[in-house]
Amino acid sequence: MTNDDLTLVVTGATGRTGGRVARAAEAAGLRVRPASRATGFAWDDPTTWADTLRGADAAYLVYPPDIGVPGAAGAVGALAREAVALGVRRLVLLSGRGQGSARPAEEALIASGAEWTIVRASWFTQNFSEGPMADGLRFTGDLVFPADEVTEPFLDLADVAEVVVRTVVEGQTYVGRALDLSGPRLMTFREAVAEIGRAAGRELTYTPVTSEQYAEVLTGFGLPSGEVAFLVGEFGSLLDGHNSYSSADGVREVLGRAPRDFTEFARDAAAEGAWKV
């Protein structure tokens, strides 16, 4: 079977990771079937799943807003079982590296009978250029975040997308494996913001805050109290230092090259105007 014989369902196809996976899959010659509310697919409506999955060869699963939220395991498991029943045996799940709350969803995928691969990703570089963190840098010149001075090996989503596509294309090579992915070097959030400032030609700052203070910030953005509590709890567990190591070998093993460095990300995002007011 050649690449252009493969049909890949991409959930979250209009989102931060799904959009990149869809583009990488198309570049590799796969037929991409986008799955989002725009195409009639919804994670919270199982009646929409069959039409999306039927006739596909593989699926990329990303659960919004996060793989660790309550209900994710039930939905991932149910969709995976339906996919297998419809003949879509090859499933790739996006998960979080060192994220304990993600394990129930991972286990649900494994128990489904699918030919599974789990991609456990570290903190995305694009969190600095897309979404609420980027808005803070763009409009106030300051990143307010509860990470103290912990280090993180920031990972470029372009690498994640290429890894996902490779695991689909190469079939059995990565079945039954959980791949840990990260960027090539450890940086504090303060160092990352400084590097972004140099690339953008702006004076940018980083202000570490407590979890309680950050909860107030999120509440001010209008987020529901339940989502605020979840996010603050997740950040507290993910940014306690246990992820302060690089697992760049995961990217190197699959792609045969080193992961993209933060400097390259900051340069390209700045050139695209990510932090221009």
Burial 109-121 (b: 16+ CB within 10 A, else e): bbebebbbbbbbb
Average of per-residue pLDDT values in the chain = 95
Task: Report the side by side order of strands in the sheet with 90-96.
Answer: 31-35, 7-11, 58-61, 90-96, 115-121, 177-181
Q: Is the pLDDT of residue 94 over 90?
A: yes
pTM of the model: 0.95
Per-residue model confidence as pLDDT tens digits over 170-197: 978 999 999 999 999 999 999 999 999 9
Residue 64 has a pLDDT of 93
Q: Does 260 have pLDDT greater than 80?
A: yes
Q: Residues 245-256: what's their mean pLDDT?
A: 96
The pLDDT value recorded for residue 222 is 86
Arithmetic mean of pLDDT, 88-107: 97
pLDDT in tens, 68-79: 999 999 999 999
pLDDT at 13 over 80: yes
**The two structure tokens encoding residue 202:** 């702006």
Task: Calculate the alpha carbon distances from 192 to 19, 126, 185, 245, 277 in Å.
Answer: 24, 12, 11, 16, 19
pLDDT at 2 over 70: no
Q: Tell me what pLDDT residue 276 has.
A: 94
Residue 168 has pLDDT above 60, yes or no: yes
pLDDT, one tens digit per residue, over 212-232 is 999 998 888 788 898 889 888
Q: Exposure pattern of 48-76 as b/e (b: 16+ CB <10 Å)?
A: bbeebbeebbbbbbbbeebbbbeebbebb
* pLDDT value at 146 more than 80: yes
Domains of the chain: 3-124+155-184+245-260 (3.40.50.720)
| Mean pLDDT, rounded, for 260-271 | 98
The pLDDT of residue 1 is above 70? no
